[in-house]
Structure 1
Amino acid sequence: MTDTLRHRGPDDGDLWLDERAGIALGHRRLSIVDLSVEGRQPMISGCGRYVTTFNGEIYNFPDLRSELSARGHSFRGGSDTEVMLAAFTQWGVVPALERLNGMFAFAVWDRERRILHLARDRLGEKPLYYGRIGGTFAFASELKALRALPGFHASVDRDALAMMLRNRYIPSPRSIYQGIAKLPPGTHLTVASRGLDPQPVKYWSAVEVAARGLDEPLQVDAEAAVEMIDGLLRDAVKLRMTADVPLGAFLSGGVDSSIVAALMQAQSTSPIRTFTVGLADAGYDESADARAVAHHLGTDHAEVRVSPREALDVIPRLPAMFDEPFCDSSQVPTFLVSRFARRQVTVALSGDGGDELFGGYNRYAWLASVWRRIGWLPPALRRGVGTALRSVSPGAWESMFRAAGGTLPRW
């Protein structure tokens, strides 16, 4: 299984087995923080109770380390994995989740209670699949690792396929295969018995956070709100710049990636590395914008031109990369810029998610306007209107909005 994931962790790999308990943990390591052997996984906690295989980064691990040190914990190395294990020892696995600020997917074996915990970060940045294969409970970062197990049967889940065609991706907890699930974002799962099918339990909910925001709106003026957002973004970027390996940023010249690059450069003592892929089709090529932003910020900018043939050559490789179908049109340029950047850096920040967080798409801008016009309609009639709207694909709506151009109202 771990051999199939060598591309995710090219620096190191190891296994931990407890034959009497019937448990095996494997890990492939991409070294980012603490490059020494003290950061090697699977890792055992200082107390000897917990063993983990962990994918991701805990951004607030320096603060957690200081707090845990004050409580009497000692540390062999400088990795965030060791700090996370100490947090489990201090507070327990599930309570410690509330304290972790990061992107992560991990499995931790409680040797004392003989319980396996799986958990995934709040927004699902790191993947985690699981299921029973030939009577064995198994989990992995990618589906290809599960396919390597004897007894795996690759039966397509037709309901999941229908969801993909409707949504352009397969939402959790489904995967493309029957019997294999994605652990949903912001959840944990406990495996305590061979005979029971465990169910994910939420420890964080975006819906609940949004509801609290509506119930208790921020009572500040626009200028103060801008200052708060600037401070939060600046802090978020700074936390992600902690690394013992070369660091850079993807730069398209758009608002999102430009903000990330600007905040990185503002908190760096030397020019940061930025990377852009230039495309032959002028309608999709953003390299000139990226070059202008890089010049303005004073970054160490690198650009590679990609021919249509080079882009087409990526397409046959996509199934092996992603394991299940999804319809993100950026998957080809993302691969190309990642491959290019990897020659110089190990970690790269990007502006992905900015449109979703800050309402950058046209459909978001129209929500308030549409609700003002139809909110007074009876629910049954609104449902009919909703059905009619959903019959048109998001791509078609985007095309219509672009064609309408300046005739659309601005917010």
Structure 2
Amino acid sequence: MCGLTGFLGRSALEHRDAVNGVLTHMAQAIESRGPDAFGAWADPEAGIALAHRRLAIVDLTPAGAQPMVAAGGRYVLAFNGEIYNHLKLRQELDCFGASPLAMTANRSWRGHSDTETLLAGFEAWGVEATLKRAIGMFAFALWDREQRVLTLGRDRLGEKPLYYGWQGQGANAVFLFGSEVSALRRHPDFAAPINRDALALYMRHNCIGGEHSIYQGIHKLLPGHLLNLAAWQTEPRVWAWWSAGEVAQRGVAMPFAGSPEQAVDELEALLSSAVGQQMVADVPLGAFLSGGVDSSTVVALMQAQSSRPVKTFSIGFHEAGYNEAEHAKAVAQHLGTEHTELYVSAQQALDVIPKLPTLYAEPFADSSQIPTYLVSQLARQHVTVSLSGDAGDELFCGYNRYQMTARLWGKLQRVPKPLRRAAAAAITAVPPARWDSLGRFLPVARLGDKLHKGAALLGYTTVAELYRGLVSHWPEPDALVLGAHEPASVLSGSQPEIQGLNEVERMMALDMLSYLPDDILAKVDRAAMGVSLETRVPMLDHRVVEFAWSLPLGYKLRGGVTKWPLREVLYRHVPRELIERPKMGFGVPIDHWLRGPLRDWAENLLSESRLRQEGFFNPAPIRQKWAEHLSGQRNWQYHLWDVLMFQAWLEAK
């Protein structure tokens, strides 16, 4: 796992000494992504410069150093990621071009890095054909010295990030790219203003999704996409080399024909293969373990293939509603892993908050970023690579909103719209505090807050509206962010053409296209890379993804049980009584902290005078929610955290 950056633009390369200085400065911004080595390569005549920060995982020798020049000399590659089947690809390359009667190795390899394998594939098969053969996670910048064309590429599901965009004007324009926007900002020509439209998108979803970034003119390369830019061009060509939407559509159209039990057998075989491939490393390796279905399945399959106890890591909180450490410990004891846990004090968690603006480089407000950073920090004390159970919910129907939609939407539709609207108006007419007092004899915390949130659902007329409402924080961000027009996204205005999916399947597909790469994977990548830890996600092996989408929804949500096939795989290794319990999010008590130890910090960032002076937000709705939250009348932790994380980022940038 590494970090890369660079730029294309002839005028920027007139002085080689200055170029090396700029490359070094840009790469320093992403040093935590690759603390082991720095490499740079430039061709001033062609106008291209590449820099690389290395976290050595496979082939720790100088033979794995980057940027790497292909054996034939045509290509130069800066690569971030892992190709898990690269040894198999080497075997194919060794025989490539040989006669059927002489299938012997005909290639001399300098080392055993997957970067060298990838370069050889590009030379032999071309870029796109090589990527389609590859199993892995990656982002890369490839320079074709013969054609003078830059190619940027990103893995299928978006595990690794890649940003790009033009800065400067006319003949002095320079095309910047890198693993994080912090690297682009280090270039002397970077002058992009804040993108208010992207800020509106952030306020809706607590992250900046799709191709957008917080800066005007700076974009993210979408998952499964390639970009080409020749030295003489001004507009890059961007296209998809793999489509998650097409995989979902194809899987539903051509479903798995076997029995549910056969589906479990096939899933276990595929996941075991993915886990086994991702356990290959030349450095210590372990896994995150929360004690839930997804991480427990990954760890169980790791331990089944390991002759030694797998190293597992979890963190716990003393607040009961946020602690899963005891469940993780029970699973670890059953499997016989070498388990390390850390119970985090409130102060330890609070100490992470000042790091977040730099760690994420853009505004990012999923508050589970805090425990994700802490468990990454814990793991990095013992290993350099950690596997995770991410993506199980999106692939196997695990989120509560899927089950709720499947169970309630049909019934809700039968209620006339005017009656639904009247019921919603009646509920919201009673203040939450009054509902709380009326329901004081019921075992329901914050009854009024929950009723008000539920009332909003009654007004939706389609599942698309329902889904967008469920995944939205600020429902009208244009009214909150001054001068903003919320851009279209896969959730509004530019929904992908995915045919044949039912309502729940469409929600799952949209999560795979948006929430998974924009929130979950970004959260884990930035937190882990901030402590120089590589994370790997076996469930995002594209063979597993394609098989999961071929399973009928009735296999995934079976008899009211979510993630049924995944659970059945797990129960072959772990007793179900260690797993079956209510789903718990990976979070921290932000709501309590904002009323307690974070109150002064938040008040400073949310002061009306400050908000007016900075000029990004309409202060009124923010101040109203802050007052309601402090009084205990409502729980606005997620809305307020969105604002606070932007404010903290703005202060630190």
Deviation at 1:327, TM superposition (A): 2.6
Mapping of 1:203-222 within 5 angstroms? 203-222=241-260
- Verify: 1:128 aligned to 2:205, yes or no: no
Partners of 2:471 and 2:120 lie apart in 1 by 46
In the superposition, relative to structure 1, how do residues 2 and 388 fare at CA in structure 2: closer, same or farther (>3 Å)?
A: closer
CA contact (8 A) 1:187 1:203 kept: yes
* Counterpart Cα distance in 2 of 1:388 and 1:12: 49
Q: Which residue of 1 aligns with 2:601?
A: none
Q: Please, which of 87, 90, 96 is the counterpart of residue 121 of structure 2?
A: 87
The answer to whether the 8 Å contact 2:325/2:341 transfers is yes
Cα distance in structure 2, aligned partners of 1:94 and 1:61: 15
Q: Determine the C-alpha separation between the residues in 1 that align with 2:39 and 2:181.
A: 20
Structure 2 residue 82 is the aligned partner of structure 1 residue 57: yes
Aligned to 1:401: none
Shift of 1:84: 0.3
The yes-or-no answer on 1:317 pairing with 2:355 is yes
Larger radius of gyration: 2
Q: Which residue number in structure 2 is paired with residue 10 of structure 1? A: 35
Return the offset for 1:99.
1.1
Aligned pairs (5 A) from 1:82-121: 82-121=116-155
The alpha carbon displacement at 1:329 in A equals 2.4
**How many Å apart are 1:109 and its aligned residue?**
0.4
Q: Which residue of 2 aligns with 1:362?
A: 400
Quote the Cα distance in structure 1 between the aligned partners of 2:188 and 2:415.
56
Question: Is the partner of 2:33 in helix, strand or coil?
Answer: coil
With over 3 angstroms needed to count, the CA separation of the structure-2 counterparts of 1:309 and 1:94, relative to structure 1, is same
The partner residue of 2:91 within 32, 48, 66 is 66
Could you say which residue in structure 2 is the equivalent of 1:300? 338
Instruction: Return the alpha-carbon distance in structure 1 between the equivalents of residues 138 and 366 of structure 2.
Output: 22
Distance between the aligned counterparts of 1:386 and 1:260, measured in 2? 32
Give me the whole-angstrom Cα distance separating, in 1, the residues matched to 2:182 and 2:190: 11
Q: Which amino acid aligns with 1:98?
A: K
1:96 CA drift (Å): 1.5
Q: Which moved further from structure 2: 82-91 or 206-215?
A: 206-215
Matches within 5 A, 1:147-186: 147-186=185-224
Query: Structure 1 stretch 187-196 or stretch 239-248: which is displaced more?
Result: 187-196
In structure 2, the residue matched to 1:405 is none
Distance 1:182 1:224 in 2: 40
- In the alignment, residue 118 of structure 1 is paired with which amino acid? L
- 1:42-61 Cα offsets, whole Å, 9 max, x none, are 00111111100000000110
Assess if the C-alpha contact under 8 Å between 1:184 and 1:200 holds in 2: no
Q: Are residue 343 (structure 1) and residue 493 (structure 2) matched?
A: no
Displacement of 1:387 in angstroms is: 7.4
> Residue 410 of structure 1 corresponds to which residue in structure 2?
560
Query: Over residues 36-92 of structure 1, what are the superposed CA-to-partner deviations in whole Å (9 max), with x where a residue is unaligned?
Result: 000000001111111000000001101101110112332110000000000000011
Residue by residue over 1:173-208, the C-alpha shift from the partner in whole angstroms, topping out at 9 and shown as x without a partner, is 001111000000000000114442213200111111
TM-score calculated relative to the size of structure 1: 0.92
Residue 212 of structure 1, CA deviation: 0.8
- 1:75-129 residue CA offsets vs partner (Å, 9 max, x unmatched): 1100000000000000111221211110000011011111110000000000000
Map of 2:301 onto structure 1: 263
Q: Report the Cα offset of residue 369 of structure 1.
A: 3.6
Deviates more, 1:10-19 or 1:368-377: 368-377
Larger mean CA deviation between 252-261 and 322-331 belongs to: 322-331
CA RMSD of aligned residues (A): 2.2
Are residues 375 and 169 of structure 1, via their aligned partners in 2, closer, same or farther at CA, if it must alter by over 3 Å? same
| CA distance in 1: counterparts of 2:218 and 2:79, whole angstroms | 20
**Alpha-carbon distance, 1:21 to partner:** 0.5
**In 2: Cα distance, 1:225 partner to 1:5 partner:** 42
Tell whether the 8 Å contact from 1:253 to 1:289 is kept in structure 2 after alignment.
yes
Tell me how far apart the structure 1 counterparts of residues 317 and 406 of structure 2 sit (CA, whole Å): 36
Residue identity matched to 1:137: F
User: Quick one: which amino acid aligns to residue 114 of structure 1?
Assistant: R
How many residues are paired up?
Answer: 397
Instruction: From the superposition, tell whether residues 392 and 97 of structure 1 become closer, same or farther in structure 2 (CA, over 3 Å).
Output: closer
CA displacement at 1:367 relative to structure 2: 3.5
39 and 377 in structure 1: CA distance in 2 versus 1, 3 angstrom threshold = farther
What secondary structure is seen at the aligned counterpart in 2 of 1:178?
Answer: coil
Which residue in the other structure is 1:384 paired with? 461
Per-residue CA shift, 1:250-276, capped at 9, x if unaligned?
A: 111111111111111110010010111
One-letter code aligned to 1:3:
Q
Q: Deviations over 1:310-365 (max 9, x none)?
A: 10110111010111122322210111111111111000011122111111111112
CA distance in 2, matches of 1:377, 1:219: 37
What code does the residue aligned with 2:253 have?
D
Given candidates 35, 43, 46, the residue that maps to 2:71 is 46
1:26 aligns with 2:51: yes
Identity of aligned residues (%): 54
Indicate how the Cα distance of structure 1 residues 376 and 48 shifts in structure 2: closer, same or farther if over 3 A, else same.
farther
TM-score, structure 2 as length reference: 0.59
Q: Which has the higher contact order (CA 8 A, sep 6+)?
A: 2
CA distance in 2, matches of 1:191, 1:157: 24
d(CA) in 1 for partners of 2:463 and 2:396?
24
Task: Give the match for residue 403 of structure 1.
Answer: none
Q: Aligned pair in 2 of structure 1 residues 387, 270: CA closer, same or farther (>3 Å)?
A: closer
Secondary structure, counterpart of 1:151 in structure 2: coil
Match of 2:321 in 1: 283
Deviations for 1:125-176, whole angstroms, at most 9, x for unmatched residues?
Answer: 0000000122101100011000001121241111111111112221120011
> Gapped runs of 5+ residues in structure 2?
1-25, 97-105, 421-458, 474-558, 562-653
Q: Distance in 2 between matches of 1:377 and 1:188?
A: 47
Contact 1:73 1:86 in 2 (8 A): no
Aligned to 2:608: none
Structure 1's 223 and 266: CA in aligned 2 closer, same or farther, altered over 3 A?
A: same
Unmatched runs of 5 consecutive residues or more in structure 1: 397-408
Structure with the largest fraction of helix: 2
